[in-house]
Amino acid sequence: MSIERILVIGAGTMGRQIAMAAALAGYETTLNDIAENALDAARTELEGWLASRVTKGKLSADEAKAAIRRLVTSADLSTSATTADLVIEAAVEKLEIKQQIFKQLGQLTPPHAILTTNSSTLASSHVAQASGRPAQVCNMHFFNPALVMKCVEVVRNQHTSDHTVEKVMEVVRRLGKEPVLVHKEIPGFVANRIMGAMQREALDLAAAGVASIPDIDTTARTALGHPMGPFELMDLVGLDVIDFIAQATYAETGDEADKPHELIKLKVSDGHLGRKTGSGFYDY
């Protein structure tokens, strides 16, 4: 069974861009959200993005039109799920909501459909049983911004079949992205574990007074070739998000090293959440 129709659930930061990547790659794509205003905002943003690609000469007007034609938005899961070959769930990061969605998907999608979650912190085994077809479930973890970032981590759970993995990897390649197969469910998968370890070290160095925050960032950029320093990146992601990820990881591993860092907790309790609040490790 070849995958031709993709359903993306959740039209927020991630879902809307994943859906556009799918439509551009030639898939008949439906973007679903319970909030009509999220769907409207997604359509406006994506049409603006396509127009700017055309203006810059990166996409032809015909390609842009075809992508718009292939992308349908819908707030009605019960109809959009019935024709999906692959679902990419990118709804809000709440376990009960995701379990409810996977239960519905198990009832609504055709029996061959593969069901994936884009969750960064919830491994697919948390939702696989609710779907009633755990062999056809895995994580398909995109990075932000999903239209730009090449990596997609494909994380199998203990029940995921080889066929499911192969099909999902195939889709990732057709999206023009680079699939990375993660064989074990582990908090943070691969990329966020590497990033978390670097952030922890940077926070420890700053807390111990080894070097200033700007100097640590400068080192990461000029010695290691990172596009931005760890503190600049944490400010961009949001210090509340960094704190939330650490809490979720610590709850799962119980490893003291994964505990939210004191420096982050201080910033969060003072309301300095990074760029979005105008101050974090830096002022904006």
- Residue 87's beta-bridge partner residues? 7, 115
- Taking CB under 6 A as the rule, which mask of x and - marks residues 17-46 in contact with ligand NAD? ---------------xxxx--x--------
- Taking CB under 6 A as the rule, which mask of x and - marks residues 211-250 in contact with ligand NAD? ----------------------------------------
Among 109, 118, 157, 160, binds ligand NAD (CB under 6 A): 118
Of 118 and 136, which has the nearer Cβ to ligand NAD?
A: 118
Q: How far is CA 190 from CA 141, 182, 197, 200, 208, in A?
A: 10, 7, 11, 16, 27
Stretch that binds ligand NAD, among 108-116, 139-147, 174-182, 271-279 (CB under 6 A): 139-147
Show the 3-state SS of 46-115.
HHHHHHHHHHCCCCCHHHHHHHHHHEEEECCHHHHHHHCCEEEECCCCCHHHHHHHHHHHHHHCCCCCEE
For the purposes of burial, counting CB atoms within 10 Å of the CB of 219, is it exposed (0-12), middle (13-18) or buried (19 or more)? middle
> Is residue 11 involved in binding ligand NAD (CB under 6 A)?
yes
CA 261 to chain centre: 23
Annotated catalytic residues are 120, 141, 153, 192
Count CB-CB contacts under 10 A for residue 257.
Answer: 10
Report the nearest approach of ligand NAD to the CB of residue 211 (Å). 28
Number of residues that bind ligand NAD (CB under 6 A): 25
> Is residue 15 involved in binding ligand NAD (CB under 6 A)?
yes
> Is residue 119 involved in binding ligand NAD (CB under 6 A)?
yes
Residues in contact with ligand NAD by the rule CB under 6 A: 9-15, 32-35, 38, 90-93, 97, 101, 118-121, 142-144
